[in-house]
Structure 1
């Protein structure tokens, strides 16, 4: 996911591709939303650091030399908020608030707009595969389209729109990939889910690869049932676990590894087509891409090896066991899921969290450890968090974190989106300054 805040520099893409090559991955999907290098609509993604066509071609070429098929992952129904909020495209929004992100596919002009975007992506992507999105279109049928008929037609509109796109892809002798959640209504409320679940019976889905996603630490039996929703109908699917790196500065390793192990274990037993691990960036993509590398290795070891990834990580990274231990300790949910809350929420909301004994032990355990810069930042976040709870934090501590994070961001990413993250540190600093003056 490069769409939620952090667009990698080309060198970062190449570093990721080298890691994928080393670990024997064969595909790399880039989730774009509005950041694909479309020429038809130059205003799309312009201020958010979208890839240029030259950058895209350089990434494609580099991946090709390594035997890795790079393809785009698009959104052409939902998750279009960064397009629909632009003045010239607001008219295509299903909902009265374009930030909701759903396209009004009842409108022929809006559909043609989406198909133009798809056509250009097909023209500029040599891969056999293209991901056409299709997830979380919760507002479809509830806005302008409902006003026209006063009848809820969400599933029908979804089917019509995606049939058209599937046929466009097939005409190019390519294979479309589609998120599977709306086909079964699996994440909707019960009554609404029942309406959407009828979609799965349409045979058009036999023409796609269904990306069956779930990021929960559920048991293997749960994932077997989820896989069979599609396999019992003869559909081709890939299992899509997640790295639990969204909305946080460091991945929740415990949740991610349990999700990966159980989902891919079920996928292997059910003999499905393959898997696609996902790393999302909701709320600004704070988690540095380098923090994901151990999980990328662990995923392949769980999928194709014996699951013991730690020794291989030490070998390929050059890190020692103590640093790996730090990675795993800060990847526990008591740490990774709370850093952001502790740093930026009011003291009265965070002071009773049952986590601080763990945090203090981490500070003591790794006080003299020479950590790589990205991990030192996480250590410093924990340190500032403890100082905040103890009433010892200073304005300068937040400014130092901001400066350290800015340096790390700019090493691997374009500048676009950084201002949103830096503003949180400076806001926390200004609030602290105000409190100290009262």
Structure 2
């Protein structure tokens, strides 16, 4: 009798792709191109972290970034998502990671610690009113919402504000109780003002809490937890134990959160697919080790900055191959040669490298030219400039900083490195121009400027400076 091949499919009902808009937010025209691809790869939802890109109104207007989406653009994003069967879950930070609000002079008095703009003061009625207004404005633009992510991860310096210090000295008050009280207040507002919407919270502030404290708080009746871990060697057993603990604390439904990019280095430029693939393989093992029906879905996070003030990490188009591999791995319940082939076909990439950075990559997916050019810059720009300026004996020996400052050059030596320097400069200026044009199709000018300044300009300026100094030295000879 012929054996039937076992079709393994995803243990998750939802595969959400996280779009982190606090850095290099894509233009709506790019989302229109990428949403059909996400659907084809196996995504059926978007966790949309608005940060300062939402068109807040009234007293919240100062929060909006210069490039914030307009109301009509948000409606267009929602329409596009619906068209491609992608359920939108908005994410607004309401506790930690509040720099986008608390950095503004209008709201800086609502900080937990006066010096630091990351955590909101949980004792202030005004803080809660502001947060509730943010939530209401976001919900008002989204029809048919089922979930709303209220953040609440990495609430640094909680308990260190003056009001908190006083409060903690009273009775049996603890930082855990303070944390839970604020989460509950925010979640309660969502539930009472928007009865059909369920709040979701990151789990890290609750992980270390005793079962009794967590259960007695009543937070489980109000929220669903999203357990996040982005490491490739995520411990399956400890996750299973954590899930059991959360179940004992009455959380009926849980979510997982993995990462497809933005979790391997604060200024990371290229995405190592293998690192993220392993993370998803571990999450699949966790899903296999727990009873069915507990987990609602998994969010593939794609961080664009580590926080509001840090530099950009990998741009969204750069992370698309990693996202594709991870989504297809989840959809198929594991990674295989067929998954690799399917991804190559869907992205128009001839040969995907999983365990090393690809030094030469092209594709046909939206934004693939950005990946190709960023790869060239990451692999070749800095090394080629360093090679010329630091390892070329004619430059180091006959055109050192000492010579450059005094406009001194041996005439014979000019011919030994000027052509190379000019050729390099022409080449990299052309690549930069090409990348600039490609990025402007996807991102706003501020993001293009920031990425270029961080990743390209320093090497180009060094090269240009050498060429300029050489010109001056040559003029001094005549």
Q: Determine the C-alpha separation between the residues in 1 that align with 2:166 and 2:303.
A: 35
Q: Which has the higher contact order (CA 8 A, sep 6+)?
A: 2
Asked if 1:209 is matched to 2:224, the reply is: yes
SS of the equivalent of 2:33 reads: helix
Asked if 1:102 is matched to 2:119, the reply is: yes
Call closer, same or farther: CA 1:208–1:297 in 2, change over 3 Å.
same
Contact 2:153 2:205 (8 Å CA) reproduced: yes
Counterpart for residue 419 of structure 1: 449
Counterpart for residue 23 of structure 1: 41
Q: Determine the C-alpha separation between the residues in 2 that align with 1:400 and 1:154.
A: 55
Counterpart for residue 265 of structure 1: 285
Q: Determine the C-alpha separation between the residues in 1 that align with 2:125 and 2:39.
A: 43
Contact 1:239 1:264 (8 Å CA) reproduced: no
Q: Report the more deviating stretch, 244-253 or 212-221.
A: 244-253
> What is the correspondence of 1:330-349 to structure 2 with a 5 Å cutoff?
330=357
Counterpart for residue 316 of structure 1: 346
Provide, for residues 51-93 of structure 1, a one-character-per-residue CA deviation record: whole Å limited to 9, x for no partner: 2111111111121122221121110111111211111111111
Asked if 1:125 is matched to 2:122, the reply is: no
Q: Give the CA deviation at 1:98.
A: 3.8
Counterpart for residue 353 of structure 1: none
Q: Give the CA deviation at 1:129.
A: 1.0
Call closer, same or farther: CA 1:304–1:2 in 2, change over 3 Å.
closer
Q: Give the CA deviation at 1:400.
A: 5.4
Q: Give the CA deviation at 1:319.
A: 2.5
Counterpart for residue 83 of structure 1: 101
Which stretches in structure 1 are left out of the alignment for 5+ residues? 186-193, 332-361
Asked if 1:230 is matched to 2:246, the reply is: yes
Call closer, same or farther: CA 1:158–1:435 in 2, change over 3 Å.
farther
Aligned residues: 391
> What is the correspondence of 1:343-382 to structure 2 with a 5 Å cutoff?
362=359, 366=360, 373=369, 374-382=371-379
Contact 1:129 1:174 (8 Å CA) reproduced: yes
Larger Rg: 2
Q: Determine the C-alpha separation between the residues in 1 that align with 2:53 and 2:362.
A: 37
SS of the equivalent of 1:299 reads: helix
SS of the equivalent of 1:184 reads: coil
- 2:327 pairs, out of 297, 300, 322, with 300
Contact 2:52 2:65 (8 Å CA) reproduced: no
TM-score, normalised to structure 2's length? Answer: 0.73
Q: Determine the C-alpha separation between the residues in 1 that align with 2:362 and 2:41.
A: 27
Asked if 1:170 is matched to 2:167, the reply is: no
Q: Determine the C-alpha separation between the residues in 1 that align with 2:453 and 2:61.
A: 25
- 2:161 pairs, out of 104, 126, 143, with 143
Q: Determine the C-alpha separation between the residues in 1 that align with 2:38 and 2:451.
A: 28
Q: Report the more deviating stretch, 149-158 or 381-390.
A: 149-158
Q: Give the CA deviation at 1:183.
A: 0.8
Contact 1:377 1:404 (8 Å CA) reproduced: no
Q: Give the CA deviation at 1:13.
A: 1.6
Q: Give the CA deviation at 1:136.
A: 0.5
Contact 1:180 1:211 (8 Å CA) reproduced: yes
> What is the correspondence of 1:146-165 to structure 2 with a 5 Å cutoff?
146-149=164-167, 151=169, 153-165=174-186
Asked if 1:285 is matched to 2:312, the reply is: yes
SS of the equivalent of 1:43 reads: helix
TM-score, normalised to structure 1's length? Answer: 0.80
Q: Determine the C-alpha separation between the residues in 1 that align with 2:115 and 2:458.
A: 27
Q: Give the CA deviation at 1:417.
A: 3.1
Contact 2:261 2:322 (8 Å CA) reproduced: no
Q: Determine the C-alpha separation between the residues in 2 that align with 1:195 and 1:36.
A: 37
Contact 1:7 1:416 (8 Å CA) reproduced: no
Contact 2:262 2:268 (8 Å CA) reproduced: yes
Q: Give the CA deviation at 1:46.
A: 3.4
SS of the equivalent of 2:62 reads: coil
Q: Determine the C-alpha separation between the residues in 2 that align with 1:370 and 1:316.
A: 13
Call closer, same or farther: CA 1:276–1:164 in 2, change over 3 Å.
same
Asked if 1:74 is matched to 2:74, the reply is: no
Q: Determine the C-alpha separation between the residues in 2 that align with 1:201 and 1:263.
A: 29
Contact 2:220 2:249 (8 Å CA) reproduced: no
Q: Determine the C-alpha separation between the residues in 2 that align with 1:231 and 1:155.
A: 19
Contact 2:187 2:223 (8 Å CA) reproduced: yes
Q: Report the more deviating stretch, 395-404 or 31-40.
A: 395-404
Q: Determine the C-alpha separation between the residues in 1 that align with 2:211 and 2:63.
A: 32
Contact 1:183 1:198 (8 Å CA) reproduced: no
Q: Determine the C-alpha separation between the residues in 2 that align with 1:180 and 1:200.
A: 14
Q: Report the more deviating stretch, 81-90 or 277-286.
A: 277-286
Counterpart for residue 259 of structure 2: 242
Counterpart for residue 341 of structure 1: none
Call closer, same or farther: CA 1:225–1:195 in 2, change over 3 Å.
closer
- 1:61 pairs, out of 73, 79, 89, with 79
Q: Determine the C-alpha separation between the residues in 2 that align with 1:401 and 1:174.
A: 48
Counterpart for residue 15 of structure 2: none
Counterpart for residue 7 of structure 2: none
Counterpart for residue 115 of structure 1: 132
